[in-house]
Structure 1
Amino acid sequence: MLMGGYEEEVRQVYLVSFRRLVGQLYGVTGDLAEAEDVVQEAFVRAVARPRQFSEVADHEAWLRTVALNLARNRFRRRRVFDQLFRAGRLAPTPEAAPEMTLDRLDLVAALRGLPYQVRAALVLYHLVDLSIDEVAMTLGARPNTVKSWLARGRAALAKELSESEAIPHA
């Protein structure tokens, strides 16, 4: 959580710089969503490093550098993936993308409203079909904590979704 003056400092930099940085990164990436993502991630890193960010003379330049580095790294990873794909080592199957039915969209929307750990536990247990112990190991939690997250998540989803809708168990 941000504290006091630092919160206001980041808010002001965000208000002044976000759109301009997105425009700059859009020119670099050629993809508006990608530009928004890397600029947002740059702000996340600023929040994670309050002392370093506060000491920088030009906040926007710091954010731009971070966003450009993120964009470059994503480009490199995507290029490697594209090379593997073109070489035939990675071939998508029709099943690669989930079918976006109304039920699935409703489930995703309901999951989005849950805290991260609860959402992750539900997905790993019900959709990925991991055991309680595997979910606990993956999330760095105790099995009883995972059981609690699952119970709370199911209760929250039951309120959000109609009674006839069930969470699919892979």
Structure 2
Amino acid sequence: MARTQDDEVVTRLLAERSRALTGYAYLLCGDVHDAEDLVQDALVKTFARRRAGLALDSAEAYVRRAILTLYLDGWRKRKRWSGRLPAAADPAERAGHADAVGDRVDVVAALAALPRQQRACVVLRFYEDRTVAEIADALGVGDGTVKRYLSLATHRLEALLGPIPPHDVELVQTTSDVRAMAKDRR
């Protein structure tokens, strides 16, 4: 059986971008195994229909969109069922380097505490580095709604993780500094 172009695109996509796709899904769902399942479901959804001439970049965009759609539309049901499994099936403690991953665990737990729409906005904004308009388009909501979700999520994350340090270290400290700067510009 001859390999089609779609097969080659899927093979290259998995070889080159599977880790990034799984990381993206992990930020949404908060569990490695669920993230892997989510990526696999998205790949099936994307490539179940043959898409002629799909390049690697556009294939990744299709898969990322499918990951987000699957997460927003139906992933919650699957999580509800997994929460009903007996507690013995998931050990309370796992071996590992707790000190090395403490911050990561805190961030993942804080993301898990957000409602799904807010979490999706945060992941799209800060992980995907999308604009508010792009996020609004991806989620099918207005720009104001995205801004509200991001504001609520940021405040919630700050409450859980502590204040977010400013990016600009040379911030103006006092009102007198502002006045002095304005005076210098005149």
TM-score (norm 1): 0.41
Larger RCO, structure (CA 8 Å, separation 6 or more): 2
For normalisation by structure 2, the TM-score amounts to 0.38
